[in-house]
């Protein structure tokens, strides 16, 4: 039974025991912010901390949850999608980005940003930075742009699976994915990832992305998430094939 809270707890224990040289525990709060509060509490109880990226939309942006997660010792970042919401207009997107960043900074300190994939959009919000410089805004890090993936292995649960690069439009590292597969660094289930950790085959420098809305106690919500994500994966696979 995958993507349950008990399975997430097992994954955290395996990560904590591994002895990483560098571990970035990243969370994309696309939906259901209370799920993120739940995973944040679980991690804090285990003495683990990461970064939670919040979108500037009602289904993600919950000021009380943002404050509580920060109080637990986690970092808060901005999960931007401005080029999508501004229909590809780079100047409007930058102004929208700055407005949302300022609003989030009115709640908590923000030093990191991360692009939201918006798979149905033709626009990649990282393209804002072809014209503008986020470092000039006091931002220290955009993981897709400031991580040396020749040295850092990347895992993400996008698509509710750990080999979601097969169905992901943007949450993947295509330049290095084939190399990782050749090295045997391909995992499907959470148990596969845990097994890889126990066998010591996962690189000692890792960035791992979790979407907390996917992780639920077994029951109606868990089943709904499974069915919806399975349908989304079919659509995304078709989108990729048509490109």
pTM of this prediction?
A: 0.92
Which positions of the chain have pLDDT values less than 70?
167-170, 233-243
User: What is the per-residue pLDDT across 74-130, written as a single tens digit (0 to 9) for each?
Assistant: 999 999 999 999 999 999 999 999 999 999 999 999 999 999 987 778 899 999 999
Per-residue model confidence (pLDDT) at position 169: 63
Judge: domain 5-242, CATH 3.20.20. Answer: yes
Per-residue model confidence (pLDDT) at position 194: 98
The DSSP result for 155-192, as a single string, is EE-TTSSTTGGGT-SSSS-HHHHHHHHHTT----SHHH
Burial class from Cβ neighbours inside 10 Å (0-12, 13-18, 19+) for residue 227 reads: exposed
Per-residue model confidence (pLDDT) at position 85: 96
What torsion do the CA atoms of 124, 156, 41, 69 make, to the nearest 10 degrees?
-20
Could you tell me the CA-to-CA distances from 125 to 25, 58, 87, 114, 116 in Å, in that order?
Answer: 22, 19, 10, 10, 8
Domain ranges of the chain: 5-242
Contact 118, 84 (CB under 8 A): yes
């Amino acid at each position: 039974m995958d993507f349950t809270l008990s399975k997430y707890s097992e994954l955290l224990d395996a990560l904590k025991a591994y002895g990483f040289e560098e571990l970035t525990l990243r969370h994309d709060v696309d939906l259901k912010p209370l799920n993120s509060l739940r995973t944040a509490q679980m991690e804090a109880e285990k003495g683990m901390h990461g970064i939670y990226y919040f979108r500037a939309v009602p289904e993600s942006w919950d000021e009380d949850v943002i404050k509580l997660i920060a109080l637990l010792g986690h970092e808060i970042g901005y999960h931007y999608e401005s080029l999508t919401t501004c229909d590809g207009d780079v100047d409007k997107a930058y102004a929208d980005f700055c407005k949302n960043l300022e609003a989030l900074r009115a709640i908590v300190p923000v030093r990191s940003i991360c692009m939201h994939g918006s798979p149905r959009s033709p626009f990649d919000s990282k393209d804002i930075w072809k014209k503008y410089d986020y470092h000039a805004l006091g931002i220290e890090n955009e993981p897709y742009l400031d991580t040396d993936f020749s040295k850092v292995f990347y895992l993400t649960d996008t698509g509710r699976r750990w080999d979601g690069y097969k169905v992901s439009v943007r949450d993947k590292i295509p330049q290095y994915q084939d190399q990782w597969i050749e090295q045997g660094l391909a995992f499907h289930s959470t148990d596969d990832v845990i097994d890889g950790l126990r066998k010591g085959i996962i690189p000692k420098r890792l960035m791992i992305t979790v979407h907390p809305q996917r992780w639920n106690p077994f029951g109606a919500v868990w089943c709904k998430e499974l069915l919806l994500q399975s349908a989304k994966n079919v659509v995304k696979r078709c989108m990729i094939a048509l490109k």
